[in-house]
Amino acid sequence: MTGSRRTERWTARARVAARGLAARMRQIVTTEPGAGPDAGAEARARAGADEARRLRGGVAKQAQLVGYLDAFGLEADTRASLARLWDAIEPVGADAIAAVVEAELGAAPAALFARWEESPLAAASLGQVHGAADADGAEYAVKVQYPGVADALRDDVAAAGLVRALAGTALGAHLPDDAVAALRAALLREVDYDAEADAMERTAAAFAGDERALIPAVDRRRSSGRVLTMERVRGLTLLEAAEAVEPVRAAAAAAILHFAWAGPLAHGLVHGDPNPGNYLVLPGPPVRVAFLDHGCSARLDPATRDAERATWRALLDRDPFAAAERFRQGLHGLGMIPSARAFGEPTYQAWEHLVTAPIRAAGAFHFSPAYAADLVAATRRAVGTELVRTPGPVVLLWRQRLGVAAVLGLLDVAIDARAIIGCALGAAPAPRSTDVPSLGHTH
């Protein structure tokens, strides 16, 4: 990367990253009720989103995170500006994209496909997706990496501050060094499309025959390190699904929650980028969700997966007091609770209450925007006071969990989370006791 380009990106990060867009979002969403909107902050947030859309790379990734983890309560125009970052980054011209395809695959797009759509279907932080088809009518979505974006991302994530921001504003400020290293490695894998193809095939094999989750098939003959050709899936975007009737929203939410928990706990696979632009909802019947982007993926080591399973399975215990004790022991064993003193702290208790509420609920749990906002805020407080930490082996898991809660908040629907997570754990949900120790409010 040239010196001038590096200077531009560092200048932009100063405006958009740790003390820029995310900080302004925190200011907006924590304003006291009745104080009224801060028009200046909203305008700066929209300007920051526009700059991130132009620069792509890690800068855009941070703004994407803010757009779904911290955007509840923002004005509609600001939310819309941030939402465009999910799949409508400023695209690259057709000639530059064709040059990448030819350099990677040895032929121009027109020679590789009977039909090639020069206008992209979507443009994300690292690459854009083009529609294509064979003469027999088979349709494809072809993801092509932006020229130079791999160098830009490597330069961006060399800064520990930006990596911490890319954990999400709730986790990042106090991210331990091993978690920074683990997240940096996961982010850098996103520019290796061969690795992403491997991750897609592993995930497709794990969910083969699943009626709720669809992983697009990869065409290896027309894929490489910077080009990824997949079967094309047509469906509703998450924002479109959020406007659908309640049964469709509920089925989509159930599929997303199932995938987020069965992936790591049943199969040891973590889908670490729950960006709302990475889902398509197929209204069916049956309703299915296609999971599109697998660049930020990881495999849990067996010891971490076993510890995670034991920790969450504890919450299925019929005795709520025994369940809470075993859950806390599990978190401590995973290195998430540095000291047992945390368990007596109201800040920790509020966080635990919100984290465990979906699986403790009798019947359907409402994943509302308020719940998502409260969970992110409670996590920020618990991590900020160092009562909770996210070490390297679990940082992608918690990045996923907070993101999925925000995604479900966009769908704003009630589902039986206890049954879904219990199924991911390989256990039938236990009958609920009404004698549940209360640690705070519910939604």
User: What is the mean pLDDT, run by run of 10 residues, along the chain of 443 residues?
Assistant: 48 43 43 46 58 60 64 60 62 94 98 97 90 97 95 88 83 90 94 97 96 96 98 94 96 97 96 89 94 94 96 92 94 96 96 96 94 94 95 95 93 96 76 34 34
| Residue 226 falls inside a structural domain | no
With the C-alpha atoms ordered 244, 216, 85, 63, is the resulting torsion angle positive or negative?
Answer: positive
Picking from 87, 26, 102, the residue whose alpha carbon sits closest to that of residue 56 is 87
Q: Are residues 70 and 181 in the same domain?
A: no
User: Euclidean distance between the first and final Cα of the chain, in Å?
Assistant: 49
Query: How many independent structural domains does the chain possess?
Result: 2
Write the DSSP string, 118-150: SS-SEE-SSEEEEEEE-TT--EEEEEEEPTTHH
Q: Are residues 179 and 67 in the same domain?
A: no
**At CA 425, angle to CA 419 and CA 429, rounded to 5?**
35
Quick one: pLDDT at residue 166?
83
The domain of 421 spans: 166-189+236-443
Q: Please count the residues of the chain.
A: 443
What angle do the packed helices 246-267 and 395-411 form, to 10 degrees?
170
- pLDDT tens for residues 181-204? 999 999 999 999 999 999 999 999
| Residue 194 falls inside a structural domain | no
Query: Do residues 87 and 68 lie in contact, with contact meaning Cβ atoms separated by under 8 Å?
Result: no
* Distance in angstroms (rounded) separating the CA atoms of residues 340 and 331: 10
* Distance in angstroms (rounded) separating the CA atoms of residues 12 and 421: 41
Of 22, 57, 86, the domain-final residue: 86
Of 42, 70, 86, the domain-final residue: 86
Query: Side-chain half-sphere of 97: how many Cα atoms within 13 Å?
Result: 23
User: Measured over all CA atoms, what is the biggest interatomic distance in the chain, rounded to whole angstroms?
Assistant: 67
- pLDDT tens for residues 93-117? 999 999 999 999 999 999 999 999 9
Quick one: pLDDT at residue 272?
87
| Residue 418 falls inside a structural domain | yes
Picking from 294, 274, 243, 302, the residue whose alpha carbon sits closest to that of residue 372 is 274
* Distance in angstroms (rounded) separating the CA atoms of residues 29 and 19: 15
Query: Do residues 354 and 406 lie in contact, with contact meaning Cβ atoms separated by under 8 Å?
Result: no
Q: Are residues 76 and 177 in the same domain?
A: no
| Residue 173 falls inside a structural domain | yes
| Residue 91 falls inside a structural domain | no
Q: Are residues 307 and 433 in the same domain?
A: yes
Residue 287 DSSP SS3: coil
Quick one: pLDDT at residue 65?
62
β strands within 152-287, DSSP E: 213-214, 227-231, 269-271, 279-282
Quick one: pLDDT at residue 67?
61
**Mean pLDDT of all residues in the chain?**
84
Q: What is the DSSP letter of 286?
A: S
Question: In the chain, count of helices (H) and strands (E)?
Answer: 19, 12
Quick one: pLDDT at residue 249?
97
* Distance in angstroms (rounded) separating the CA atoms of residues 373 and 299: 28
Picking from 327, 307, 309, 308, the residue whose alpha carbon sits closest to that of residue 317 is 327
Instruction: Specify whether the backbone of 300 is left (phi greater than 0), alpha (psi in -120 to 50) or beta.
Output: beta
Picking from 164, 162, 163, 180, the residue whose alpha carbon sits closest to that of residue 172 is 164
Q: Is the backbone peptide bond immediately before 286 cis, with ω within 30 degrees of 0?
A: yes
Quick one: pLDDT at residue 13?
47
Of 62, 86, 110, the domain-final residue: 86
Query: Do residues 164 and 173 lie in contact, with contact meaning Cβ atoms separated by under 8 Å?
Result: yes
* Distance in angstroms (rounded) separating the CA atoms of residues 277 and 236: 11
Q: Which amino acid is at 213?
A: A
Quick one: pLDDT at residue 228?
98
pTM: 0.84
* Distance in angstroms (rounded) separating the CA atoms of residues 125 and 133: 24
